[in-house]
Structures are given as C-alpha cells and as structure tokens.
Amino acid sequence: MENPLLLFPQLNISASKDKSYYKVMKPTVKEEPNKASKPGAKQKRNRLSLLLQKSELHEAEHLGKPTNLPKAPSVSPEEAMKWGESFDKLLSQKDGLDAFTRFLKTEFSEENIEFWIACEDYKKSKTTNELFPKAKTIYETFIRKDAPKEVNLDFKTKEVTSQNIEQPVITTFDAAQNTVYRLMEQDSYPRFLRSDLYLNLVKGRNPGRPTLRRRSRSFTVNDFQGVRPDFTIWQ
C-alpha cells in the first residue's frame, strides 16, 4: 500500500494533529469570583452592629420628641394639697380648675363645670349688648329641655331661669349656677380628691406621662467572656 503522503502531498497530517492536540490540551480556565466581593464574617458583624446603632439612635430620637410626651404638670405637690382645703380654692386656681375639668371628663359630667365657667364669663359682661347673646347661648346649650349639654336643675330653678332670659341681667343665672356648684361640691369634688389624678399630683407624679423604656442593645458572646454566673440569686 502506497504512502498517503505521496498520493496526497497537500494533506498535512502533522499540522492537523498539532491543532487537535492544542484543542485537547487547552486548559479550561474558569474565572474565580472576586473573593474581596464576598463580605467576611467580621465585615458582616460590623455591618450588623452599625444597623443596630442606627436603629437605636432613631428610636431614641423618636421617643425624645416633645410632641410624643405629655406636658409635665406646672403645679407643685404643695399647691395641689391646697386644693383639698376647699372646693372654692380648687376652682380659684387655673391649674386646679383644669385638673378638675379633666377629672369630670372621665366621669362624662364635664357639662357642669363648663356651665359654671360660662356663667363666670357671663358675669364679666360690661354692657347690656353683651348680656343678651351670651344669655341666649348659655340657655340653648345648658338650660333648655334636651339641650346638648343640659345640666341637672330642679324644676323651680329651671323655670325661673327660663323666665329671666327674656330680659337678661347680671344675676340671671345665679340660682342655676349655685345649684350646679353645690352639686359638684358635694358629689364630684370628694371623688376628685380620692382619684388617682389628684393623688398623683400630690405625690409629685404626672399620671399622663408614660414610662419610657429604652430598648437594650444586643449582646454578643464576647460581652460575657470571663463572667462567672452567680447562682446564689436562685437560692
């Protein structure tokens, strides 16, 4: 059999073998991912710590906003104690009047003190022109039957007051105001003095201020290294 190289001189078998060999031996190199792009365990802990610090800082700022905290009482315990001396002394002080009004709102009877305040304002009127519109408003709000804030008056007092509305004078609501005053003095005032609202003020506490507890930070194992447990507290 003749040599194929002689019959086909243009066929370069060695070149083909070299090329095939190159293809077989050519290494397949896979690009390794950048190790630096993967955060290590230490880097993860640092990021977590930073997030916790930001979260706690945001929480502290939120709790520290004045709008989220009820206003502290402006009355001292000594002043609050004086309110227990008499009902008149309680109403004569603005802080006392405000505290008593808040208490009556918890009992859904604030119409009594609102009527008393309206009568006090009515008696400060200086002209007849001021009396008539104020008298009409007070009557429509507190006196007439089925008024939106009708106060509890006996029949005679209600009848006399209704008649005086036709020609109002400074003393038009005196009888009704005195009746409501005595009702609050004998009924609501003693309960106010026994209420938590008043007792907290006497003790120097603010019943409206919530107790804010700051969230404790997260601990790691390193925080407890070298610390021995004390089992005596369980004995």
Domains along the sequence of the chain with CATH: 77-203 (1.10.167.10)
Percent of the chain at pLDDT > 70 equals: 56
The predicted structure's pLDDT at residue 1: 52
How deeply is 190 buried, as exposed, middle or buried, from its count of CB atoms within 10 A (0-12, 13-18, 19+)? exposed
To which H or E segment does residue 82 belong?
A: helix 77-82
Longest CA pairwise span in the chain (Å): 147
Q: Count CB atoms within 10 A of the CB of residue 95.
A: 16
Question: What pLDDT, in 10s, does the model give residues 10-19?
Answer: 544 444 444 4
176, 123 Cβ separation under 8 angstroms: no
**pTM for this structure?**
0.57
Q: Which residues of 49-65 are buried (b: 16+ CB within 10 A; e: fewer)?
A: eeeeeeeeeeeeeeeee
Question: What pLDDT, in 10s, does the model give residues 185-230?
Answer: 999 999 999 999 999 999 987 555 433 334 334 344 444 455 454 5
The predicted structure's pLDDT at residue 3: 53
Q: How far apart are CA 74 and CA 79, in angstroms?
A: 10
